[in-house]
Structure 1
């Protein structure tokens, strides 16, 4: 009998040890949740999934479902979607939901100043003509445009000085523009999205005339120019960008405002509070009710989130988010902050606690309502990071 009792005690002790080694909520909360995927007869609005406080189990179950009618639109203004080679799902998203986009911007290109008046475009090895053809065919109704993003790469101080300050700067700028126009025609691009303002530092105030000339020449050649634009953060330089917008917008197709990355691991918090996005819009519009001015603004929407721990944290994309949610309890509800109009969730495990800010259907809908209220479009960074059912809202 004593031997039998000892065996029972050992078994119980082992059970306790193994239970302790398991994350407190790992998998247990997900019993019975079977993720669904693919097209449905109704959209997320009709299915009542756009709610202020969604359940974890509903996100896991329905995130890969979407309305079978990908041609229907719920958002009437312009939509730009960025696609990156490091999130390949974005290429498929662009093909499936092309009718909901006006612009697709694959993040392919860099431009370098090789020597005086000689500019080299790199990244062209990523260009996929078959994919471009598929996107254009599916988005023909919207006359969708493919505008690769091009960014300054490895520009030294001497390059910037030559480009903006030297007596020969106009010649330099002409060579730059010609190289981009040549690439657009050769590779059958509809234009480019130019990101440069965040990289030129003290030369920002010299960039306006160049952007105006660039926009004019692109338009004359039947090409489009969209400019990536910084958000308002209260920095001294922000006043320049607010004033410069008035001089720039008539010459470009649109400006893609980077209204995301409000917080960071050093200062954890929401990705892009709604009140801040609204402030950015109001600063740019500056009381001007001109519809053509407002329609040139593409309000940035993040389709990624951030996962914070006591040791820091970093970005989290849709696939990682869903896997992380599986460690939460089934009936756990995401918290909604009325001030920021964002949802977040705290998940605890033996590895530590995580606080995750990631877009929800409700938070995206609030931002689309803001865009509609102000008569502006949106720019999504980036579509490979999102969840399938997000696109029902557009």
Structure 2
């Protein structure tokens, strides 16, 4: 499902990039607030910026500032950061804060079945070797791994049937695994982040043995495999994924759980309520105190938000968020919902009234605290979308 949302997200972002987001100047708004930029001697906690109801003017003023020591970690559990080619800022963010990440996953690759036992990986034209070299140098103390995301792309029903159910499925799966390992060796990847469960529909229940074998063969060549995993939504298939996690996690390095996109323009609301994220973790761990099991979970953190109008609305990234905040009333503070642990703000623009949900320092801190409580890591979707001072918390 995240694939659909991702496509919609890209289309919306492309539309926004050709539009004028800044409405006419409002002397009573935040237009006079000048944003500061760059490193600072103290982090956001020391500067008392992590507040339940922050002022809009403070977000505008300080969002592009950050602690000068970008190598110091506050969150000790595993951190995965996604980077997308359609949001180039993420490449710079990954380099600047490389010591904060254990894994960086550029969203580069797709794999499709061309013919029996022949698999083609596309997207390799996006591979940036200079960036990878710089990233590894900056993240050397943390042994940072670069794991491109690979997506099952445009698979037909006949492809899925051959891959999962027919007698030839063993050789088909072996061929795909070999193609991925070959690409890792040739392009100097540390492994891959595999996204397939949302693309294979009814064949998901046949995927467990394949994932186990994939994980085993990758580890034999010292490659890592991280699996993208659906969150709990109350669907009939959820029980399968909850049970399958127990069979999968020993064979993969981690599982990146998509705990975002809780709401949408058809059902406006918070991006990822904290109570729902807690439920998603609890469903997977099932009271198991095994720290190895818990540490395999990477709890998804959205660094994008949503701006809703009476006619719908859609996703926004940090630069758009800051421009929208300039329309808020002077000295306006964000509202906070204790149940969802998210902030929101309602503003008027030349395009009409908007209700905006976007991560804040406070909401991110609450989610990092949740991860600490359960001993899980986190996965940020995605690095180019948030605000610079978010990384002081990691």
Three-state SS of the structure 2 residue aligned to 1:154 is coil
The reply on whether 1:302 has 2:305 as its aligned counterpart is no
Matched-pair contact (CA < 8 Å) for 1:371–1:378: yes
> Residue 270 of structure 1 aligns with which residue?
270
State the alpha-carbon separation in 2 of the partners of residues 250 and 388 from structure 1. 35
Partner Cα separation in structure 2 for residue 350 and residue 140 of structure 1:
48
- SS of 2:207 mapped into structure 1: helix
Superposition CA RMSD, Å: 1.1
Aligned residue for 1:199, secondary structure, equals coil
Map 1:232-243 onto structure 2 (within 5 A): 232-243=232-243
Q: CA deviation at 1:29?
A: 1.8
Q: What's the secondary structure of 1:30's corresponding residue?
A: coil
| Counterpart contact for 2:31–2:326, Cα < 8 Å | no
**Which position in structure 2 is the counterpart of 1:282?**
282
Conservation of the 8 A alpha-carbon contact between 1:285 and 1:293: yes
| Number of matched pairs | 373
Cα distance, 1:34 vs structure 2:
1.3
In structure 1, list runs of 5 or more residues that go unmatched: 1-21
Task: Encode CA deviations 1:289-330: one digit per residue, 9 max, x unaligned.
Answer: 000000000000000000000100100000000011011123
Q: Deviations 1:204-238 (Å, cap 9, x if unpaired)?
A: 01000000000000000000000000000011100
Q: Corresponding residue for 1:383?
A: 383
Match of 1:11 in 2: none
**1:352 Cα deviation from its structure 2 partner:** 1.1
Q: Deviations over 1:18-71 (max 9, x none)?
A: xxxx97973532254111000000100000000000000000000000000001
**Partners of 1:33 and 1:57 within 8 A in 2:** yes
- Tell me the distance in 2 between the aligned counterparts of 1:230 and 1:359: 21
- The answer on whether the counterparts of 1:24 and 1:348 sit within 8 Å (CA) in structure 2 is no
Indicate conservation of the 8 Å contact 1:25/1:328, yes or no.
Answer: no
Partner of residue 48, structure 1? 48
Q: Which has the larger radius of gyration?
A: 1
Cα pair distance change 1:24/1:109, threshold 3 Å? closer
1:349, distance to aligned residue in structure 2 (A): 2.9
Is there any run of 5+ residues in structure 2 with no aligned partner, and where? Answer: 1-21
Alignment-derived partner of residue 135 in structure 1: 135
Q: Distance in 1 between matches of 2:298 and 2:44?
A: 24
TM-score, with normalisation over the residues of structure 1? 0.93
Distance 1:269 1:157 in 2: 35
How has the CA–CA distance of structure 1 residues 23 and 258 changed in structure 2, closer, same or farther, with 3 Å as cutoff? Answer: closer
Q: Name the CA distance, whole Å, in 2 between partners of 1:26 and 1:314.
A: 24
Task: Report if aligned partners of 1:56, 1:332 keep a CA contact under 8 Å in 2.
Answer: yes
| Aligned-partner SS, 2:384 | helix
Q: Offset at 1:348?
A: 1.2
**How does the TM-score come out when normalised to structure 2?**
0.93
